[in-house]
Amino acid sequence: MKKNNPNKAFTRAVEDISEVFMFDQWMRFYYIFEEDKKLTVKVPDEICSQIEKDYPALKGLVDLLNNEEIDQQKSTATVCSYIGSRFDGTKYSSRIVPMVFDSKDFKLEMYIFNLWIKGHESYLESEVMSFNDWKSLYSGWRDQDEVKNYITRLNNAQGGAHIQPPTCNTVQ
């Protein structure tokens, strides 16, 4: 029986964990509302049904947060515990998830994703988009040569180097 290549498992874990964080960002971007000076996650039933259809594994995260008061600490704790219960020692070896959180690959992916959100915020706010739309737009933006070159420069940079973010204004 052939063992999985640990590098492939690590790469898949980075992708899976990144997707959970991206999903959480998407959910908070569109579905947090202020009531009585408290922030509450309110994902409509029809959106929950679509999430269950398109991303059944992520529906559990919606269930944990939906109709609940939220702050950054609770959001982070919930996402991390969700990742731990879903991936740590279950889908991946118990050593991989902590390695992902500490990895340059994961940190870079989250940095690039947040850069994309900031650069496209007004467009993303123009209408409520599905998570599929976000993933497609992000993937298209990430595949642009200028963004690929920027990522390569970041990967090759020495600590403390300042690298100018890509200036492409094309919405993907």
- If pLDDT is split at 50, 70 and 90, which confidence band does 10 have? very high
Q: Please answer whether residues 172 and 133 qualify as being in contact, where contact means their C-beta atoms are separated by less than 8 angstroms.
A: no
Strand-pair partners of 35? 38
Q: Please answer whether residues 41 and 66 qualify as being in contact, where contact means their C-beta atoms are separated by less than 8 angstroms.
A: yes
Burial class (CB in 10 A: 0-12, 13-18, 19+), 29: middle
pTM: 0.86
**Over residues 35-64, mean pLDDT:** 94
The tens digit of pLDDT for each residue in 93-136 reads: 889 999 999 999 999 999 999 999 999 999 999 999 999 999 99
- 154 pLDDT above the threshold of 60: yes
pLDDT on residue 157: 75
- 172 pLDDT above the threshold of 60: no
**Over residues 48-66, mean pLDDT:** 95
Backbone φ and ψ of 88, nearest 5°: -75, 105
Instruction: Report the C-alpha gap between 59 and 55 in whole angstroms.
Output: 7
pLDDT on residue 43: 97
The ranges assigned to domains in the chain are: 6-156
pLDDT on residue 6: 54
pLDDT on residue 1: 39
